[in-house]
Amino acid sequence: MIPDQAGKYAWLLRAILAIIVVFFAASVLLTDYIVNQEKKLSAQIYPNVYIDNMGVGRKTKQEASQLLEEKYSPLRQIQLSVIYQEQPIATFSATKLDLHADIDETVNRAYLVGRSASLPLRLDQKMRAIFNWGKFYFQTKITYDKRSVNDFIDQSEQHYNVPAKNALFEFENNKVVSFRKEENGTKINSGQFLQEIESSILTLKANPENKKIILHDAVLEPEVTLAKANQFGIEEEIGEGQSNYNHSIPERIHNILLSTSIFHGVLIPKDEEFSFNKLVGDISAATGYQPAFIIKNGKTVLGDGGGVCQVSTTLFRAALNSGLTISQRVAHAYRVGYYENDSKPGFDATVFNPYADFRFKNNTPAAILIQSEVDKENKILKFKFYGKKDGRKIEISQPTLTDVQPPPQAVYQDDPTLKKGVIKQVDFAAWSGKANFSYKVTRDGQVLFAKDFYSVYRPWQAVYLVGTAD
């Protein structure tokens, strides 16, 4: 029994020894293999390492970088266009943005697989990489220089941001001396734009194509509106009239501007009648008017205040476009060229105190404020009426012009106050005609005011003075 027992122990000992030898030999071979692999991989990325799902194992850092540079070379051609209010306002090129994938940084991180400063982690990574026990994935990121984008935002805010303006309404001595309708402001949405830039750039990795980015804005509302700024019920513009006084002599322009200033800021209370003559007052040299051509006693002569009818005509057009009741309007004796610069015949209103006045009634829900605008460069006069709309609709027909006749032959009159050879024109030819247009104002199907405006313009002859004095 004892020999058999000894034999068993000897066999077990030999088996253990054999296992140790095999294990030792395997360890030596494994170590040798790992060492050899490490030598081969000394300048290479470990196997089973991927960047953006591309295998970069057993490649040098330079080779891996080159592979990725080729993949992302289209980024160098990218352009980002900025659109504001449906118009292109800026373009960012890839160069300007320094747009690129962080290839070098990502390759360096991939290269550190199996080279960790931590021994357990280093050994684990080496074994997994060399023996294909695991894979290591890395992702590049598209980066850009945000300074150019921030500079663009700063410039855009300075250029496009407009603060809201509060309404102004100051009433002194029965006249509005300070007036401004409220104005909405604008503020571009810088935060949203930066987010959309960021999102667009992130998508370039999967889809490297040019992008359009919208610069959005928001409306800034004023704190004080016109409705809050006054107690007269004035909330909005209800109508405007315009005329062109081109070709006017300097004296006539002076008179237009002087009389216009009288009506600027005038407030017409609800249910009251506006009278041009009552408001304009005395028109003479004593009140600052200069001699310019007027129609008087059937003739065109120099008289103080020539040009004031340009103002009454413009107010007539503003009253029509505001849907007001016209209680008195007189046409000129003949067709005056100034009033046909930008209008067909029939839309004029002459004034001559006390015989001819222009009047209208304020039958709106609120007071009416008159504001004037003068474009001196283009010789355009405007009157804007502010009040409160009530849903009225205005219908103004196209004017008709009939019985058009040429002017009579020019008349030449001797004038002993002028030297011989001097000819001076003192009256101007005009064709005759009968103009007519209809005007109707309705609200909710009810007629508030309706009238046909007739204008009978006589033919007008030119008159020349011929000098006879030596």
Does residue 215 sit within a domain?
A: no
Quick check: 331 and 457 in contact, CB under 8 A? yes
Does residue 9 sit within a domain?
A: yes
Q: Which of 23-27, 45-49, 92-96, 146-150 shows the lowest per-residue confidence on average (mean pLDDT)?
A: 23-27
| Number of domains observed in the structure of the chain | 2
Mean pLDDT of 175-201: 93
Mean pLDDT of 410-424: 86
Mean pLDDT of 328-356: 91
Mean pLDDT of 273-293: 88
Quick check: 72 and 100 in contact, CB under 8 A? yes
Q: Which range scores top for mean pLDDT: 251-255, 333-337, 441-445, 464-468?
A: 441-445
Does residue 391 sit within a domain?
A: yes
Q: What confidence score (pLDDT) does residue 294 get?
A: 59
Residue 402, pLDDT above cutoff 50: yes
Residue 2, pLDDT above cutoff 90: no
Does residue 80 sit within a domain?
A: no
Mean pLDDT of the chain, nearest integer: 89
Does residue 109 sit within a domain?
A: no
Long-range contacts of 37-45 (CB under 8 A, 24+ apart): 37/130, 38/126, 41/114, 45/107, 45/110, 45/111, 45/113
Q: How far is CA 373 from CA 40, 241, 265, 316, 441, in A?
A: 87, 10, 11, 15, 26
Mean pLDDT of 339-348: 93
- Say how far apart CA 421 and CA 468 lie, in whole Å: 8
Q: Residue 335 is encoded by which pair of tokens? A: 């067709």
Q: What confidence score (pLDDT) does residue 1 get?
A: 46
* Residue 347: partners with Cβ closer than 8 Å, 6 or more residues away: 313, 316, 317, 320, 339, 399, 437
Does residue 108 sit within a domain?
A: no
| Structural domain span for residue 332 | 231-469
Does residue 330 sit within a domain?
A: yes
Q: Which of 39-43, 163-167, 184-188, 391-395 shows the lowest per-residue confidence on average (mean pLDDT)?
A: 39-43
Does residue 11 sit within a domain?
A: yes
Residue 185 DSSP one-character state? E
Q: pLDDT grade, residue 301 (50/70/90)?
A: low
